[in-house]
Amino acid sequence: MSRRKIIIDTDPGQDDAVAILLALASPEELEVLGITCVAGNVPLPLTTRNARIICELAGQPETRVFAGCDAPLQRKLVTAEHVHGKTGLDGPVLPEPTMPLQPEHAVDFIIQTLRTAPAGSVTLCPLGPLTNIATAFQRAPDIAARVGEIVLMGGAYFEVGNITPAAEFNIYVDPEAADIVFKSGAPITVMPLDVTHKALVTQERNDAFRALGTPVGIATAEMTEFFERYDREKYGSPGAPLHDPCVTAYLLQPALFKGRHINVEIETASALTLGMTVADWWRVTDRAPNATFMGEIDANGFFTLLTERLARL
């Protein structure tokens, strides 16, 4: 089976970190062409630091990591240190990275890669605000048609918002960027909070990470232990929702997820509902479907896959 070429666009973030580890642990199925960093959970200098820390933790310092946009297209950056800690990767104590950042800007790398790879052969995997992806589409309108698939973590419908009553964080930080991406015509698969809030790291699942006894297993246990306190307090949930690893798991075992191909549009005007993903789940409008919006996950299957793959690193 040919390997799927992917670009991971990310704002690590403990859950981004686990998504990256899962991808790097799956070289038979996934070829990580590069990791492009964006400002989101924490500012860009920290997301580029954290991405490299994770690549080195995975024992893959040759992975190409790029710095991207340090602010949303039009708005002031909103970050989430209250969830992820001041470094964005609080929890484990990991060494500062020694691997280099690539010299090219992440947006140039995305454009260049999509223009040179065979059309339809590259999957974009955004795990944070969509600023890098939207900037690439604005600068090079020709590339949207060359994207194989966009599989992103973002949005919410039945689960409603996590940063405001209406909006999920990744979309809320840069709603104009999300609007550009959802209107780009590229095939989009969405992992919203509706799914990721069902992928909870219970104590038993966290124990399974720790029981791997490896630096990766222990660090994953420590990252999710740190990250879960916010959701426990807010939702009373029995563990951290592993948002971003749902994207990687979909690439590896799509049958773990169920959803609908529907119309999804982004609120960019109303202050009250800014960043809301208006998902026409019940198809009550004649707006054309533009995204596969996931609603269900086989959570046990997800954690079995994740734990087995992390054991390989």
The residues binding ligand RIB (CB under 6 A) are: 11, 13, 15-16, 40-41, 127-128, 153, 162, 168-170, 243-244
CB of 33 to ligand RIB, least distance (A): 20
Active-site residue list = 243
**Residue 17 interacting partner from ligand RIB, Ca ion, none (CB closer than 5 to 8 Å by kind):** none
CB of 107 to ligand RIB, least distance (A): 19
DSSP 205-253: HHHHHHHT-SHHHHHHHHHHHHHHHHHHHHH--SSEE-TTHHHHHHHH-
**DSSP conformation class of 166:** S
**DSSP conformation class of 95:** P
- Taking the least distance from each CB to ligand RIB, the nearer of 16 and 174 is 16
Q: What is d(CA 97, CA 101) in angstroms, rounded to the nearest whole number?
A: 10
303: which residues sit within 8 A by CB, 6+ positions away?
199, 205, 208
- Taking the least distance from each CB to Ca ion, the nearer of 92 and 126 is 126
With CB under 5 A as the contact rule, the residue among 34, 72, 88, 128 that binds Ca ion is 128
Q: How many residues does the chain have?
A: 313
Q: Which stretch binds Ca ion (CB under 5 A): 8-16, 183-191, 201-209, 279-287?
A: 8-16
CA neighbor of 251 nearest in space, from 307, 304, 305: 305
**Residue 162 interacting partner from ligand RIB, Ca ion, none (CB closer than 5 to 8 Å by kind):** ligand RIB
- Taking the least distance from each CB to ligand RIB, the nearer of 41 and 113 is 41
E strands of 47-121, at which residues? 65-67
Residue 244 phi/psi, 5-degree rounding, is: -70, -35
Q: What is d(CA 17, CA 277) in angstroms, rounded to the nearest whole number?
A: 25
**Residue 169 interacting partner from Ca ion, ligand RIB, none (CB closer than 5 to 8 Å by kind):** ligand RIB
- Taking the least distance from each CB to ligand RIB, the nearer of 169 and 226 is 169
With CB under 5 A as the contact rule, the residue among 127, 143, 212, 262 that binds Ca ion is 127
- Taking the least distance from each CB to Ca ion, the nearer of 128 and 212 is 128
The residue ranges that bind Ca ion (CB under 5 A) are: 11, 13, 16, 127-128, 244
